[in-house]
Structure 1
């Protein structure tokens, strides 16, 4: 049977409230009820039963926060295994996994004789599963006796006497000791792993002093920025700046949070009047480092728990990279509320932008073009055949990229391009020296365009795990166009003869444009593989056949081919390819 099922049937299996069979409170528990037989014990049991039933109603409605508050209140009044089971289940649903694990272990430890066998087995399975999702934080290098807190929850003093367990995820660690600057750091913990935090405290040099008194002279704990620093009347050094102070005691007396401003080398006095604070609240934000304000007063970052006056209160939460949120909560006298707020991520916030970085990218592609153009292509008639121009393209991009909401990059490019095209059976003429009529025939040609390119580029990037990149490159290509000709011709006397190969390699230069689009996949933090397509446009390098080259015309002596454009002045090629990218 699942744990949720046990949570819902706990009322049926639990001992009847007020019956003689009800087990006594856990020995030594700070929440134990008064001794049996007293009026206080009977009243506590009755209120505990009522809160337990309200918790069950909220549990069935899946109102986890409200149900947890009722079950914990029932446990404080009169601990039972059924209230403990339900509270642990609610904590798990609220993703407070470390506290859920603690409570399941308490359940197995404190109720060994009264816990039904099937409920015990279910709880044991939960302990095993939660231990894989809960990690620990090891704080190192702090001052002995320093107060420790994680996500606003006090964890004792340094060095801790037990492992500091937390749910896997992001947490805020605070370390405080009088006379030192407070330490605060965020840490990410993986389930089943230990994260270490070095927390050396620096002596407080730039400071003022704070004097706190309670107007009626009561001795209450003084809490500054979530850390208990002493009892009233209290005076001590405090870092310059804004702070939050409140008084509290174990008897529900205290003060709501109060702001105070500390100035350098000055003593600030704060006199507070304690009052009954008959309501309690716990605020659990996500992300864990969100700032929490209650009724307009900043009370800290991360989880905050404390006592307030009954009535309406305004909870405000803000965090870098998230949209702020506000909640209104009404606290009943004697009540306890849990306010869990998950802030919505602001995708346009600077927090989510990648830091500036250098990029290196190597790409290779197949180069395809319908034709290289020029006079060769234009004079390829009905009996002539011409293949697709094909070749290869390799390029290296180096650049710098910044994140402006959309990633913008720019840099330099260097590479090599090659395109070749063959023509068969093209009508051609050789003009023999001293003979009026040309030698007519057919020529086969192989044209090879080769060049080295160098230029600059700029581009935009979108997306996370599968980025899309748009880039435009421009620059120059320096190279050549080689033409190797063979063929069969007829002399003026009707004799057939063969020619070639006749080869020319005129140099050429082009201006190039290279728009491209790529889709990639990230492999880790720094490496990306991609596939995409470029359109390479070459402008200006119309290489020509040199008519001055002598060709053996058999019986007619020597002749020349006419001067011809080997390529068009504007060429383009489609370049489908792949690439690898590294940034640092």
Structure 2
């Protein structure tokens, strides 16, 4: 019943064009109960997936094991396919290795030396590895044509310098230990390895195992790794072009050539690199109980190819300042109150970003922030009257100006990006104070001051730090959100300046007089603006 159910699921997946998933179902059906229909269907899946050596082996099994049961037209089609596939399949003959050495081709273990027969491979480039404990690993790339036999002399060299690695499983379970893709024993395991970086993982029954972990072996030292096995319900296969490209998953180097292994569900970062090619990066999401194949074809580095690309980013956001400083803030006490400065900022970043993620460029923008200070106690000098009067004034302060400077930053990630940027420049603008108030002279005369605006130029050194997260919507456009902090260091202090005739104090509708405020600073020496906002980034 299980074999039949698996076979039916495989047929449904074939109709959807899901050849990888269909292959898994047909192979499971064969394992439960081998039939010619499941064997033929699995062979066809191998063929559609261009795994010609495996397709040829299964078609030959079909003709050998089920010859008497095959319908004539199916037998004829299989025979024709075998003839055609033999022209697409070559063989690799491994010679000269140590007895018992493990042989792998494209990340798949093919047996121990001496092999019973040369190994079939699809026509094309392949990575062959030979490993035995106590020896330097052997690795080479071969190009095999259809029908060709390529002989490899893989003489292993004894380790001259080595360290030792001890691998244990946290719960004490006995699991297979794989080092650099080779099965070397079961936990707890200890053995010699060449100095340098290696990859360790554990495999157990079913989906039990660990994701690849990176270890560094030191000369004549013991390195201990304690891994915790869990159910890894997702499978990832990476097929790089060129086949000799090195593969890294989640920061762990996995060697060169095709790699396939079990990982936990979720997002994983894949990087493929080869000399003379542009490094390829992918963010891959794995669902439970799925097998995902990721082909990554690298682009050659062309002479004259730019090392990066130009970019422009537009950011609009609110801006908040705890205080604009200056005398209004410093002398605000008692019943006086001051709000948080609030406003907005618009910025344009233009620059150049290298493929490594390092970038640099220019910034320009506009910042405006307003702050209210109410019921501030102060005095005013009355002209042509008894000179002193005291009362309360309300100040509406505003800082505005143009931002200009340079920036340098680093971006990480592909589709989901994290960017960090530092900037330095200047804010050139002005600070204004719109003031009004109610005062009482020493003679008891009460009067209101008309609204008076003082405005003075100001300049600041602007130091910016920023963190942004981005989501790419294509090859060029990216939406961003982030948080920036701008430290403003005063270079030229803006001050209150009375109008030439003074400020007007109104006693009633028909009478009044002019007065003057003392000169005072409108901005502090150092201010900090916080700006959370959204933006859009376009890379050319």
Specify the TM-score bucket, using the shorter chain as the normaliser. Answer: 0.5 to 0.7
Query: Quick one: distance in 2 between partners of 1:429 and 1:496?
Result: 13
The offset of 1:570, in angstroms, is 1.0
Q: 1:94 to 1:376 in 2, by over 3 A?
A: farther
Query: Quick one: distance in 2 between partners of 1:309 and 1:571?
Result: 73
- Determine if the alignment matches structure 1 residue 388 to structure 2 residue 340: yes
Deviations 1:65-97 (A, max 9, x none): xxxxxxxxxxxxxxxx94563364377489846
Aligned to 1:320: 245
Unaligned runs of 5+ in 2: 8-26, 75-83, 96-114, 131-137, 157-180, 183-241, 248-252, 262-269, 282-306
Q: Secondary structure at the match of 1:525?
A: coil
Query: Quick one: distance in 1 between partners of 2:414 and 2:393?
Result: 55
Aligned to 1:365: 317
1:566 is aligned, of 522, 527, 532, to: 522
Matched-pair contact (CA < 8 Å) for 2:125–2:141: no
Q: Secondary structure at the match of 2:426?
A: strand
The offset of 1:539, in angstroms, is 1.0
Aligned to 2:531: 575
The offset of 1:280, in angstroms, is 3.8
Deviations 1:89-143 (A, max 9, x none): 3774898467699989x989xx999569xxx9xxxxxxxxxxxxxxxxxxxxxxx
Query: Quick one: distance in 2 between partners of 1:304 and 1:58?
Result: 31
Q: 1:374 to 1:114 in 2, by over 3 A?
A: same
Deviations 1:335-374 (A, max 9, x none): xxxxx95279666767426861111100011101111111
Aligned to 2:121: 283
Matched-pair contact (CA < 8 Å) for 2:333–2:376: yes
Aligned to 1:513: 463
Matched-pair contact (CA < 8 Å) for 1:429–1:441: yes
Matched-pair contact (CA < 8 Å) for 1:283–1:305: no
Aligned to 2:393: 443
Aligned to 1:533: 483
Deviations 1:549-579 (A, max 9, x none): 4123457843210111111021111000001
Q: 1:308 to 1:84 in 2, by over 3 A?
A: farther
Query: Quick one: distance in 2 between partners of 1:464 and 1:575?
Result: 25
The offset of 1:321, in angstroms, is 3.6
- Determine if the alignment matches structure 1 residue 495 to structure 2 residue 495: no
Aligned to 1:266: none
TM-score computed with the length of structure 1 as normaliser: 0.50
1:543 is aligned, of 486, 494, 497, to: 494
Query: Quick one: distance in 2 between partners of 1:348 and 1:495?
Result: 84
Aligned to 1:454: 404
Query: Quick one: distance in 1 between partners of 2:343 and 2:6?
Result: 70
Number of matched pairs: 351
Select the structure that is richer in strand: 2
- Determine if the alignment matches structure 1 residue 86 to structure 2 residue 39: yes
Give matches, 1:59-458, under 5 Å.
Answer: 60=31, 82-83=35-36, 85-86=38-39, 88-89=41-42, 92=45, 96=49, 114=69, 154=87, 279-283=117-121, 290=126, 299-300=142-143, 307=149, 319-322=244-247, 342=259, 351-352=278-279, 356-404=308-356, 407-433=357-383, 437-458=387-408
Matched-pair contact (CA < 8 Å) for 2:449–2:506: no
Unaligned runs of 5+ in 1: 8-55, 63-80, 121-148, 157-225, 227-245, 247-253, 258-276, 327-339
Query: Quick one: distance in 1 between partners of 2:93 and 2:443?
Result: 121
The offset of 1:517, in angstroms, is 0.3
Deviations 1:27-60 (A, max 9, x none): xxxxxxxxxxxxxxxxxxxxxxxxxxxxx99974
Query: Quick one: distance in 1 between partners of 2:359 and 2:444?
Result: 66
The offset of 1:527, in angstroms, is 1.1
Q: 1:312 to 1:434 in 2, by over 3 A?
A: closer
Matched-pair contact (CA < 8 Å) for 1:282–1:305: no
The offset of 1:492, in angstroms, is 3.5
Q: Secondary structure at the match of 2:524?
A: coil
Matched-pair contact (CA < 8 Å) for 1:461–1:467: yes
Q: Secondary structure at the match of 1:467?
A: strand
Query: Quick one: distance in 2 between partners of 1:435 and 1:500?
Result: 18
Deviations 1:169-216 (A, max 9, x none): xxxxxxxxxxxxxxxxxxxxxxxxxxxxxxxxxxxxxxxxxxxxxxxx
Matched-pair contact (CA < 8 Å) for 1:491–1:553: no
Q: 1:438 to 1:536 in 2, by over 3 A?
A: same
Query: Quick one: distance in 1 between partners of 2:151 and 2:244?
Result: 26
Matched-pair contact (CA < 8 Å) for 1:318–1:325: no
Query: Quick one: distance in 1 between partners of 2:322 and 2:272?
Result: 44
1:468 is aligned, of 418, 421, 424, to: 418
Matched-pair contact (CA < 8 Å) for 1:391–1:418: yes
The offset of 1:483, in angstroms, is 0.8
Q: 1:463 to 1:308 in 2, by over 3 A?
A: closer
The offset of 1:411, in angstroms, is 0.4
- State which structure, 1 or 2, has the greater radius of gyration over its C-alpha atoms: 1
Matched-pair contact (CA < 8 Å) for 1:461–1:468: yes
Query: Quick one: distance in 1 between partners of 2:28 and 2:384?
Result: 114
Q: 1:374 to 1:341 in 2, by over 3 A?
A: closer
The offset of 1:299, in angstroms, is 3.5
